[in-house]
Amino acid sequence: MRSRLIYAGFGLLAALLGVGAGHLTASLLNPASSPVLAVGSTVIDLTPTPMKEWAIREFGNRDKTILVGSVLLGVLLLAAVAGLLARRRLALGAGLLLLLVGVAAAAAMSRPTADLSDLLPALVTALAGVGALAWLDRAYRSGRRSAAADAEDAGPSRRGVVVAAAVVAVAAAALGGAGRVIGRLRSRPEDVDLPTAADPARALPEGIEGRVPGVTPFRTPNKDFYRVDTRLDTPVISADDWTLTIDGDVERELTFSFEDLLEMPLIERDITLTCVSNSVGGQYVGAARWTGVRLTDLLDQAGVGSGADQILSTDFEGMTISTPLELATDGRDAMVALGMNGEGLPRAHGFPSRLVVPGLYGFISATKWVTRLTLTTYAERSAYWTDREWATDAPIKLSARIDTPNALDDLPAGENLVGGVAWAQQRGGVAKVEVRVDGGAWQAAELGPDGGNDYWRQWFYRWDAAPGSHSLAARVTSGDGELQTTASAEPFPEGSSGLHELLVNVD
Ligand SMILES: Nc1nc2c(c(=O)[nH]1)N[C@H]1C(S)=C(S)[C@@H](COP(=O)(O)O)O[C@H]1N2
Ligand SMILES: [Mo]
């Protein structure tokens, strides 16, 4: 019994060492080829849409941590089994470990831009894992032999096993830790000197977050901006190697370098981005100042043919997003963005360059790490989320969110500030926000400053609260006169709707 436990532990340690060594190798070469991340990414691609939606709903921003954690847990369970097999015959246990690494290698190689060097992390994982298992097994067996030879004194030899196990554990932790540090260092943002925009934005007025505690800041700092994409790593792309190609149904196929784009006239705009997976009251929305080249400036140079109805954008690794050509070129401030809040794009948000199209959910417009814009038709080409049954035409639905108080808060009786943000991009912006208490009459809230029609607006309402339990709801009316619908819808397939409503207690 005890030797079984010990061998299961050997399997675990060997796997941890392998994963740590593989992760370190990948962090030096290509983060996406890390065995655990490669398996995780494949799982993301293969997961059916309803399950993905469920995970995003249940786990929110932690969905990826939970996915990677589950993959790791699965690997460790199987590694324990490999340890048990090694107790019978080392070759059996090593065989199972190699099988696991083989799956990871296949996952890493199945990525569209994979090359042979992406096999290296798996190779290192295999060597480290099997090597550690063999070494632990030898330490155990030689301990057993010397214990049998000298039954009086099994101490030192048992110590041999403990030392070997400790060495492997420390090495695994050190390698994994080094991999993380290197990964973080490499994904530091590159310095970009953004030229002054030829067409700058107005100065953004000061928000009301200082006066109304709990209200979301008027501008989202880059480090707090929500992140949604299909990746588990943060791509490290050098601006010097990067190019953007415009092809498909165009008169001239064009390719721009990062420098080329920086030399073109830049526009600067305040735009609120929203994810289609945002549930009512959710956090997948953020507001930033974007700097970039107007999309139509680039398309006009290329000369768009008359047949196209779709811009199919492709990221550096072949992930695709489709945008309705007509909407992207109808005069709105769609851009190939190079800057976010006065800096180059953070790597997590698309460095060197991404698309930003006001008024469309990110999944049909906001391609990060974009390298290609192909003018084509919906009949001819489909994109990642279209293939997963999401809508192709998805304007952002207008919505009001209550940031403060929080649901189930205990509030003092008397005046309380209810506040939040509301958005109605490409619908004339936010003209009115109203608050309803306990299903009563809608009351006008006070609005924060105006950041433009594509930007969200803060709001607050002075509520004279009586003791008891109360429900609060908010709704927005756009500058175009559209009132937010009460009809509730799930994010799939074209965005959530309904009122953000919550319960609070007043003492
Ligand atoms: N290359 C790439 N771009 C992408 C995605 C992606 O998965 N891959 N996700 C899109 C989605 S669904 C949204 S909502 C926005 C989010 O942008 P952010 O992470 O900068 O907030 O990016 C879009 N661009
Ligand atoms: Mo999204």
We report the CATH number of the domain holding residue 497 as 2.60.40.650
| Residue 57, pLDDT score | 79
**Which ligand 1 atom sits closest to the C-alpha of 319?**
1
Q: Pull the structure tokens for residue 286.
A: 């953020």
Q: Of 167, 140, 130, which Cα lies nearest the Cα of 18?
A: 130
Helix 35-46 / helix 2-29 crossing angle, nearest 10 deg: 90
Give Rg (Cα) of the chain: 27
Helix (H) or strand (E) holding 498: none
Residue-level pLDDT at 216 = 98
- 378 with 231, same domain: the answer is yes
Structure-token pair, residue 357:
């199209």
Based on the domain organization, do 380 and 446 belong to the same domain? no
Buried b (16+ CB within 10 A) or exposed e, 446-482: ebbeebbbbbbbbbbbebebeeeebebbbbbbbeeee
Ligand 1 atom closest to the Cα of residue 316 is 1
Please give the full DSSP string across 112-176, using - where no structure is assigned.
TT--GGGGHHHHHHHHHHHHHHHHHHHHHHHHHHHHHHTTT--HHHHHHHHHHHHHHHHHHHHHH
Q: Which amino acid is at 165?
A: A
CA-angle at 33, arms to 27 and 34, nearest 5°: 60
Residue 213 within a domain: no
pLDDT of residue 153: 52
Q: Which residue has the tokens 């007509």?
A: 326
Q: How far is the CA of 363 from the centre of ligand 2 (A)?
A: 4
- If asked whether residues 63 and 103 sit together in one domain, one would say yes
Question: Which residues have a Cβ under 8 Å from the Cβ of 4 and sit 6 or more positions away?
Answer: 84, 87
Q: How many domains does the chain have?
A: 3
Pair 157, 21 in one domain: yes
Domain of residue 17, residue span: 2-186
314 inside domain: yes
**Model pTM?**
0.92
CB of residue 233 inside a 6 A radius of ligand 1: no
CA 51 to CA 48: how far, in whole Å? 6
Residue 299 and residue 444 in one domain = no
Between the CA of residue 272 and those of 248, 457, 462, what are the distances in Å? Answer: 30, 10, 26
CATH code for position 243: 3.90.420.10
Pocket probe for ligand 1: among 228, 321, 384, the residue whose CB has the most ligand atoms within 8 Å is: 228
Q: Are residues 250 and 280 in the same domain?
A: yes
Whose atoms come closest to the Cα of 233: which ligand? Answer: 1
What distance in Å separates the CA atoms of residue 432 and residue 393, rounded to the nearest whole number?
A: 26
Domain identity same for 29 and 177:
yes
Judge if 406 and 377 occupy the same domain.
Answer: no
Among 158, 186, 214, the domain boundary falls at 186
Please indicate, yes or no, whether residues 285 and 171 belong to a single structural domain of this protein.
Answer: no
Whether 44 is in the pocket of ligand 1, judged by its Cβ within 6 Å, is: no
Strand pairing report for 370-376 and 243-248: parallel
In a domain? residue 392: no
Give, in order, the Cα–Cα distances in Å from 350 to each of 94, 107, 285, 353, 461. 40, 23, 16, 6, 37
- Residue 366 Cβ < 6 Å to ligand 1: yes
Q: Are 276 and 267 in contact (CB under 8 A)?
A: no
Indicate whether 270 belongs to any domain.
yes
Check whether residue 182 and residue 48 sit in a common domain.
yes
Q: Would the CB of 363 count as within 6 Å of ligand 1?
A: yes
In the reported structure, the alpha carbon of residue 377 is separated from the centroid of ligand 2 by a whole-number distance in angstroms of: 22
Assigned domain for 210 exists: no
**What is the torsional sign of CA 219, 225, 228, 230?**
positive
Q: Output phi, psi for 168, to 5 deg.
A: -65, -45
Check pocket membership of 180 for ligand 1, CB cut-off 6 A: no
* Nearest CA, atom 6, ligand 1: 229
Counting ligands in written order, which one lies closest to the CA of residue 369?
1
Measured distance CA(233)–CA(227) in Å, rounded? 12
Indicate whether residue 227 lines ligand 1 (CB < 6 A): yes
Q: Are strands 457-465 and 446-447 parallel, antiparallel or unpaired?
A: antiparallel
Strand order in the sheet with 370-376: 254-257, 243-248, 370-376, 310-315, 320-324
Give the span between the Cα atoms of 237 and 316, in whole angstroms.
9
Domain final residue, candidates 329, 364, 387: 387
Number of residues that this document lists for the chain: 507
Looking at 128, 163, 186, the residue that finishes a domain is: 186
Tell me which ligand sits closest to the C-alpha of residue 355. Answer: 1
State the Cα–Cα distance between residues 485 and 275, nearest whole angstrom: 18
Specify the residue for token string 């700097």: 291
Beta bridge partners, 461, equal 418
Q: Is residue 52 located within the same domain as residue 73?
A: yes
Q: Is residue 199 part of a domain?
A: no
Q: What is the pLDDT of residue 184?
A: 87
| pLDDT attached to residue 151 | 60
In 3D space, the residue among 226, 183, 266, 259 whose CA is nearest the CA of residue 349 turns out to be 226
Distance separating alpha carbons of residues 280 and 193, to the nearest angstrom:
38
- 399 alpha carbon – ligand 2 mean position (Å): 16
Assess if residue 497 is contained within a domain: yes
Question: Could you list the mean pLDDT of each consecutive 10-residue stretch along the chain, which spans 507 residues?
Answer: 92 96 93 91 89 83 88 95 97 97 94 89 97 96 79 63 94 94 86 95 97 97 95 91 97 98 98 96 97 98 98 96 98 98 96 98 98 98 94 97 92 97 98 98 98 98 97 98 97 96 95
Per-residue pLDDT, 105:
95
Residue linked to tokens 């090593």: 94
Domain membership of residue 35 (yes or no) is yes
Q: Is 200 helix (H, G, I), strand (E, B) or coil?
A: coil
Q: Are 351 and 403 found together in one domain?
A: no
